[in-house]
Amino acid sequence: MSDFMSMQPGQRDPEQQKRLFLTLALVMGLMLAWNYFFAPPPPQPPTTSETPSPQAPAAPEARVGSGDVPAPGHEADAGQGTHSAPSSPPPEKTVAFQTKALDLAFTSVGGGVQRAILKNDDPDEWRDYKFEQIRGEKGVAPTLVNLALVKAGQSVPGASQLTGDVAMPFDTRFQLEERQNGVTFHAQTAEVALTKTFDFADSGHDLRARYSVTNRTQATKKIQLVIAYPTFFDPALLPKSSFFAPPPDQIQAIALTDGTVERQSVEKSSEEKTFVGPVQFVGFDQRYFLGALFPANGAQTQSRLFTAPDGRYEAQVIFDLGAVPPGETIHRDVGFFMGPKSLDLLNRVSDAAMRGVLSAKLPKQGEDGAAAGQGELVAQNPQLSEAIDFGWWAVLCRGLLFILKFFESLVHNWGVAIILLTVLVKLLLFPLSHKQMASMEAMRRIQPRIQELQKKYADDRESLGREQMKLFQENNVNPFGGCLPLIIQMPVWFALYRTLYSSFELYREPLIQGWITDLTQPDPFYLLPLAMGVTMFITQKMQPQMGDARQAKMMLYIMPIFFTFIMLNLPAGLTLYIFTNNLLSIAQQAFLRHRFQKKNPPPSDTTPSLPATKAASAKGG
């Protein structure tokens, strides 16, 4: 930022200066307006408390897709087929497991995951409190992250239904068998049998499951298998955003289908969308955490996203099993991810999924001489990293995150890593900024002659512009040299903002304990934004004054105040970057000014005035 602020006024006339300042203000305003008006509404972070309101709300109108797959909210009707389930289903049974990464519980009602509370399975890499969910309101204590939280009446993650020529609803009661690091569910009707096996490791945030469907009739049956990943967040408790503050934590139903990421938030009315496959993953995105379901093979699949105003979200994968002959069993393998949106972790789980193993079974780079990418590919790539919403700046965000991770590995502090990133960008831009600042100092030296031109051609702007450009060329001054560093810096700001907003690596990482404890949140004491405003004022003050003195003085105070006001509600990590950049620019400008003045002493008062021949001829013409 300070590259721009220290360059512009000394290199163009007041109109050019005002246009550039207004352009910068417009860009920042558009960015904030986009976040306020077009970003999806923020959802509520999960808690492990009792889910409210045991009575489910009225279900939305069903939009039945191909194969008559009932929409979410119509699960109870889906089981009404020609053959009913056994008259006395088994009672509900739950089993719980504790791994290094997950506090898991499975339920026989629906045959899925009842609880999935995240734990830190890599204390050498992460702090335990990163696995707690902070709330938008001040004074509300962080809560544990449960990626299987549902409302009473909803199905559970991993629940399934069979449709087509047979029927088995989401709320089917299964027989549940506990195994070491796994469970097996089984249910059957006169028409069809369904067996589900879930497996997990002692560590890792992923699970693997196999769904086996058997045609128990004497006729060929067309069958569809639907697997759901639902969740619930009470919209009444959602923190609000404002025009000058970005939206808080966002929760969206998400699907990666046919290479395209689809996202859906809670709106004022129920909304349901179906997307033709192949499906790579579905689930829900909670800004820094992800609950996802991904098929091993995306052939003959569709995805469906559903949201309701009462806070229900549901993502589904629909498998078309085709015509199943009598007595034949069809298998479908899927994986589940319930964990933080760490780029390395998501890539590792995706890599393991392609090899048909759990991520804990995949050797890390350098272990036993094995590389993480070894092993035969047996499944599609779910590309879970696409759940990280970097927006338009994805390539630059990934590059910044890579550099920040490298610096953090050296200094073990993400705030210091941002400072080192600022220094690196400053060094990369040094040739541009050096040339611009040298041009600005040259501009400072010719200020008396520019002022003389302004007086001489006060009534002839065309001649004034022509003579000024000639003067710039004679003194090797580029009046537009300050634009390029600004153009390069602005994408870095936006990309760093998106990186802070989306990367678990930076979530709840401190600069200094007791002051800035989370670089992804605003400075709670506003010290950093105020310091940034002061350094911006200094960079403005160091610039040569051009044009009207009152206009220059107004810009000297307005721009620092304007940006300070904006940065009050933006992530502290971004403010730290801009503040550090301002300090470096002040030091660089002071050094170059000292060096320039030493090599080129200021001109004496006997500098000859410019001839007035052109002005006279212009007036005479």
Q: In angstroms, what CA-CA distances link 243 with 31, 493, 497, 530?
A: 10, 19, 16, 20
What pLDDT sits at residue 468? 81
Question: What is the arithmetic mean of pLDDT over 568-592?
Answer: 92
Q: How many CA atoms lie within 13 A of 441 on its CB side?
A: 20
Is the overall model pTM greater than 0.85, yes or no?
Answer: no
26: confidence class by pLDDT, cuts 50, 70, 90: low
The yes-or-no verdict on residue 228 having pLDDT over 90 is: yes
Q: In angstroms, what CA-CA distances link 158 with 320, 353, 565?
A: 17, 17, 47
**To 5 degrees, how large is the angle CA 238–CA 244–CA 249?**
30
Give the least confident one: 134-138, 435-439, 474-478, 549-553: 134-138
Domain 75-387: assigned CATH number: 2.70.98.90
Do 184 and 177 contact (CB within 8 A), yes or no?
yes
Q: In angstroms, what CA-CA distances link 396 with 112, 402, 494, 497, 580?
A: 39, 10, 10, 11, 20
What pLDDT sits at residue 67? 40
What pLDDT sits at residue 21? 52
**pLDDT tens for each residue of 106-135:** 999 999 999 999 999 999 999 999 998 766
What pLDDT sits at residue 230? 97
Question: What is the arithmetic mean of pLDDT over 81-106?
Answer: 80
**pLDDT tens for each residue of 171-205:** 999 999 999 999 999 999 999 999 999 999 999 99
Q: In angstroms, what CA-CA distances link 132 with 69, 163, 346, 367?
A: 37, 39, 19, 30
CA dist 77 and 83 (Å) reads: 13
595: confidence class by pLDDT, cuts 50, 70, 90: confident
What pLDDT sits at residue 350? 97
What pLDDT sits at residue 485? 63
Give the least confident one: 96-110, 211-225, 482-496: 482-496
How many CB atoms neighbour CB 207 within 10 A? 25
Do 353 and 371 contact (CB within 8 A), yes or no?
no
Q: 609 vs 525, which has greater pLDDT? A: 525
Residue 358 makes CB contacts below 8 A (sequence gap 6+) with 199, 200, 201, 204, 206, 207, 208, 352
Q: CATH 2.70.98.90 spans which residues of the chain?
A: 75-387
Of 12, 19, 7, the C-alpha closest to 468 is: 12
**pLDDT tens for each residue of 605-621:** 544 444 444 444 444 44
Q: How many CA atoms lie within 13 A of 458 on its CB side?
A: 5
Do 218 and 295 contact (CB within 8 A), yes or no?
no
What pLDDT sits at residue 136? 53
Question: What is the arithmetic mean of pLDDT over 379-388?
Answer: 97
The yes-or-no verdict on residue 30 having pLDDT over 90 is: no
**pLDDT tens for each residue of 236-291:** 766 666 555 555 557 899 999 999 999 998 888 899 999 997 999 999 998 899 99
Structure tokens at 463: 């001649």
Over pLDDT 70: what percentage of the chain?
73
Structure tokens at 546: 């051009």
CA dist 260 and 255 (Å) reads: 8
How many residues comprise the chain? 621
Give the least confident one: 20-34, 76-90, 236-250, 372-386: 76-90
What pLDDT sits at residue 41? 44
**pLDDT tens for each residue of 322-357:** 999 999 999 999 999 999 999 999 999 999 999 999
